[in-house]
Amino acid sequence: MTSVPPSLRGEVDRLKTEVAALHALLPANGLVVWTAGNVSARVPGADLLVIKPSGVLYDQLTPEAMVVTDFDGNLVEGDRAASSDTFAHGYVYAHMPHVGGVVHTHSDYATAWAARHESIPCVLTMMADEFGGDIPVGPFALIGDDSIGRGIVETLSESRSPAVLMAQHGPFTIGKDAKSAVKAAVMLEDVARTVHIARQLGNPARLDQADIDSLYNRYQNVYGQK
């Protein structure tokens, strides 16, 4: 097993603390049950990522419990096996250099859309803001190698959305860092639930593309503090 380069020691320790804290936001927002789901962060300057260990309860996910792997899922630091989704996370980092964080959840409403192989239509301004259009569905793939990662990259490479619904599996989200990916996961479940409720009352109209583009540009480039 290789080790973390001394020059990255401080950054890896910082990311372990950050990723551990971000994991707590998944059950707090109702996005996971038991030990399902995971958050990872890219280690800048190396082909490494920080992620939670497999099958460990959320209240035990301290910074010391986090593991470090390379993009092929090989353990670099830690005394537990990495999350079973590590191969998917690593593939995303290897093929999407702008991505600094990846999240996977089994949140109820988003996963229900994934079970139907159905994209979520952009019928809300909040969707246009965060996702830039419809939330796409990715192909079905089994856990165990980088197949899920390939499906994520193929799907999101053709979309502005930071979220993809992997068919009959669940949502994955990406971001410039791990916090941004968690935010996208929280917002994804909120809009998945809202659009589902709206469809029980009728067929909500998709926003015009020009309005989606305008809203997305404002939210991404103007909204908030700079």
Active site residues: 129, 223
Cα–Cα distance, 159 to 141 (Å, whole number) = 19
Cα–Cα distance, 211 to 37 (Å, whole number) = 34
Q: Strand 137-138 vs strand 163-166: parallel, antiparallel, or unpaired?
A: parallel
Question: Which residue, 125, 128, 110, 224, is CA-closest to 170?
Answer: 110
3-class SS string, 202-218: CCCCCCCHHHHHHHHHH
Question: Which residue, 189, 190, 195, 219, is CA-closest to 123?
Answer: 195
E-strand stretches of the chain: 38-43, 48-51, 67-70, 75-77, 101-104, 137-138, 163-166, 170-175
Cross-strand partners of 174: 102
